[in-house]
């Protein structure tokens, strides 16, 4: 079976974890890892695994464009625009794991195939990937006036990119809660917890349903179905307790345990982001390969 070649820009936490996810995709071939520090853990691991390693950033990648079909950007929102412009101009597909949000948002269990025509697809944020499926699960059975998410991640799993981009995280997640989640208004909060041993990613979704008349059982069923769908690509994604109803307010508590590819299992925030991105790319590759067959 033919496959599309993958490049990853950014050899930090996200990029390195993503490399392992790509290795397990049936329609993707891990090909190039791009960083700016030859001594970075990510580049060392990519080199050891036999992939092409570029240590002078996007400039280096532009000289070896034949080695990639789909490029993931796991750098920062600030750097992403320039990367995207260069790569899409060269006809490459770009999957954006920064909160830059140039391209349309994709959250696999909600709109996996909706944006395959777009040269740049955005993966929202880790908090968005963990919570927007639940917002959508509620909004597909009851109108949601407002949805708010709180993502708590371990300090160790939040790299310098996430830290420098904290405002972008809240803006991008809030917009995607509206656009993909289906809430009329969205809000996002992120909390870093430095506890040792590190805490597993936790997320809370609070939603206000627009009408006092709704079917509680239908909402719970929709949430449970959605959790099962996310578990297809993130097995450690689960509800904590049961959804709580209080008048028009619904509260859903979640925990995301990662697969432990690059980072330990507590960093479900990295895992759900990279697993979602790999899923989108793999499906995109299947479609592109079929179209060109």
Partner 1 sequence: MEKKSFEILDVTLRDGSHAMSHAFTPEQVRDTARALDAAGVRYFEVSHGDGLGGSSLQYGLSAHDELELIEIAADECKQAEVSVLLIPGIGVKGNLQNAVKAGAKMVRVATHVTEADVAAQHIALGRELGLKTVGFLMMSHMAPTAKIVEQAKLFESYGAEVVYVTDSAGYMLPQDVTERISALKQSIGCDIGFHGHNNLSMAMANTVAAVEAGATFIDGSLRALGAGSGNTQTEVMVAVLERLGYETGIDLYKIMDAANDVVTPYMPRPQEITGSSLVMGYSGVYSSFLLHTQVAAKRFGVDERDILLELGRMKAVGGQEDLIYDVAQGIAVRN
Spacing of C-alpha 101 from chain mean position: 12
Active site residue 126: yes
Residues 57 and 226: their CA atoms lie apart, in Å, by 38
Among residue numbers 59 through 118, which ones bind partner 1 (CB under 8 A)?
none
Should residue 185 be labelled a site residue for partner 1 when binding is judged by CB under 8 A? Answer: no
Residues 254 and 224: their CA atoms lie apart, in Å, by 12
Closest distance to partner 1 from the beta carbon of 113 (Å): 32
Phi, psi of 165 (to 5 degrees): -105, 25
Residue 92 or 202: the one with the smaller Cβ distance to partner 1 is 202
- Cis status of the peptide bond prior to 197, with omega within 30 of 0: yes
> Could you tell me if 187 and 206 are in contact, meaning their C-beta atoms sit under 8 angstroms apart?
no
Given the residues 126, 220, 250, 280, select the one marked as catalytic: 126
Should residue 152 be labelled a site residue for partner 1 when binding is judged by CB under 8 A? Answer: yes
Closest distance to partner 1 from the beta carbon of 176 (Å): 16
Among residue numbers 223 through 262, which ones bind partner 1 (CB under 8 A)?
240-242, 244, 249, 251, 253
Structure tokens at 222: 């929709």
Give Cα separations from 185 to 100, 109, 132, 143 (angstroms): 20, 21, 13, 11
Should residue 156 be labelled a site residue for partner 1 when binding is judged by CB under 8 A? Answer: no
For the chain, give the longest Cα–Cα distance. Answer: 60
The one segment of 48-56, 59-67, 88-96, 166-174 that binds partner 1 by CB under 8 A = 166-174
Should residue 187 be labelled a site residue for partner 1 when binding is judged by CB under 8 A? Answer: yes
| Contacting residue, 3, 47, 171, 238, with partner 1 by CB under 8 A | 171
Closest distance to partner 1 from the beta carbon of 171 (Å): 7
Residues 250 and 230: their CA atoms lie apart, in Å, by 20
H or E element, residue 258? none
Closest distance to partner 1 from the beta carbon of 246 (Å): 8
Residues 6+ apart with CB under 8 A from 194: 154, 155, 156
Query: For 162, how many CA atoms within 13 A lie in the half-sphere containing its CB?
Result: 24
Structure tokens at 225: 């179905």
| Contacting residue, 192, 265, 288, 289, with partner 1 by CB under 8 A | 192
Residue 207 or 277: the one with the smaller Cβ distance to partner 1 is 207
Should residue 170 be labelled a site residue for partner 1 when binding is judged by CB under 8 A? Answer: yes
The one segment of 15-23, 28-36, 198-206, 221-229 that binds partner 1 by CB under 8 A = 198-206
Query: For 60, how many CA atoms within 13 A lie in the half-sphere containing its CB?
Result: 17
- Interface with partner 1 by CB under 8 A: which residues? 146, 148, 150, 152, 155, 160, 163-164, 166-167, 169-171, 187, 189-195, 199, 202, 204, 206, 208, 240-242, 244, 249, 251, 253
- Residues catalogued as catalytic: 126
């Amino acid at each position: 079976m033919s496959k599309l070649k993958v490049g990853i820009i950014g050899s930090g936490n996200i990029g390195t974890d993503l490399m392992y996810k790509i290795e397990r995709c049936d329609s993707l071939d891990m090909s190039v890892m791009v960083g700016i520090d030859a001594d970075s853990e990510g580049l060392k691991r990519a080199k050891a695994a036999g992939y092409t390693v570029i240590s002078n950033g996007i400039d280096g990648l532009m000289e070896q464009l034949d080695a990639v079909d789909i490029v993931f950007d796991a750098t920062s929102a600030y750097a992403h625009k320039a990367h995207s412009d260069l790569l899409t101009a060269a006809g490459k597909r770009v999957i954006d794991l920064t909160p830059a949000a140039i391209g349309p948002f994709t959250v696999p269990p909600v709109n996996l195939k909706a944006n395959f025509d777009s040269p740049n697809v955005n993966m929202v944020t880790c908090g968005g990937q963990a919570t927007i499926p639940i917002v959508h699960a509620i909004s597909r059975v009851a109108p949601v006036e407002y949805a708010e998410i709180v993502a708590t991640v371990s300090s160790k799993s939040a790299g310098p990119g996430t830290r420098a981009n904290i405002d972008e995280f809240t803006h991008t997640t809030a917009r995607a809660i509206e656009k993909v989640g289906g809430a009329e208004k969205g809000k996002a909060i992120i909390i870093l917890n430095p506890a040792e041993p590190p805490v597993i990613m936790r997320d809370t979704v609070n939603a206000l349903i627009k009408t006092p008349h709704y079917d509680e059982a239908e909402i719970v069923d929709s949430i449970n179905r959605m959790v099962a769908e996310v578990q297809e690509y993130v097995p450690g994604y689960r509800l904590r307790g049961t959804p709580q109803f209080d008048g028009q307010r619904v509260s859903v508590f979640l925990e995301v345990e990662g697969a432990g590819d690059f980072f330990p299992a507590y960093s479900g925030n990295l895992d759900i982001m990279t697993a979602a991105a790999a899923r989108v790319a793999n499906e995109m590759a299947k479609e592109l390969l079929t179209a060109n067959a």
